[in-house]
Amino acid sequence: MRALAELFGCEPSEEAVFAHRRATDPDAYAATLLRATGTEWLLIDDGFPAPGEGVAWEAMGDLAGCRSAPVMRIERVGEEGLAAGDELDALRERVRDAVAAARASGFVGLKTVAAYRSGLDVQPPDAAAADAVLADAPRRLAGKALLEVLLDDALAANAATGEPLPVQVHCGFGDSDLFLPRADPTLLGPLIERYATTPFVLLHCYPFVRQAGWLAHVYGNVFLDVSLTIPHVWRHAEMVREALELAPASKLLYASDAARTPELYFLAARGWRAALAEVLAEALEPEEAEAAARRILRGNAIALYGLDRR
Rule CB under 8 A: choose which of 235, 260, 294, 310 binds a second copy.
Answer: 235
22 CB burial (10 A radius; 0-12, 13-18, 19+): exposed
Q: Is 186 in the site for a second copy (CB under 8 A)?
A: yes
Q: Is 54 in the site for a second copy (CB under 8 A)?
A: no
Q: Find the shortest distance in angstroms from Cβ 212 to a second copy.
A: 10
Q: Is 65 in the site for a second copy (CB under 8 A)?
A: no
Q: Find the shortest distance in angstroms from Cβ 1 to a second copy.
A: 11
Q: Is 179 in the site for a second copy (CB under 8 A)?
A: yes
How far is the CA of 214 from the CAs of 171, 227, 281, in angstroms? 14, 17, 22
Rule CB under 8 A: choose which of 56, 246, 259, 274 binds a second copy.
Answer: 246
Question: Apex CA 106: angle with CA 26 and CA 157, to 5°?
Answer: 125
End-to-end CA distance of the chain: 37
Q: Which of residues 214-233 bind a second copy (CB under 8 A)?
A: 214, 217-219, 232-233
Rule CB under 8 A: choose which of 17, 91, 187, 275 binds a second copy.
Answer: 187
Q: Which is nearer to a second copy, 66 or 233 (CB)?
A: 233
Q: Is 295 in the site for a second copy (CB under 8 A)?
A: no
CA distance 290 to 164: 30
User: Residue 56: what residue type?
Assistant: A
Q: Find the shortest distance in angstroms from Cβ 172 to a second copy.
A: 9
Rule CB under 8 A: choose which of 85, 162, 176, 287 binds a second copy.
Answer: 176
Rule CB under 8 A: choose which of 241, 273, 299, 302 binds a second copy.
Answer: 241
Rule CB under 8 A: choose which of 54, 125, 189, 306 binds a second copy.
Answer: 189
Q: Is 283 in the site for a second copy (CB under 8 A)?
A: yes
Rule CB under 8 A: choose which of 244, 255, 268, 292 binds a second copy.
Answer: 244
Q: Which is nearer to a second copy, 85 or 176 (CB)?
A: 176
Q: Which of residues 76-95 bind a second copy (CB under 8 A)?
A: none
Q: Find the shortest distance in angstroms from Cβ 46 to a second copy.
A: 25
Q: Which residues bind a second copy (CB under 8 A)?
A: 173, 175-176, 178-181, 184, 186-187, 189-190, 193, 206-207, 210-211, 214, 217-219, 232-235, 238, 241, 244-246, 283
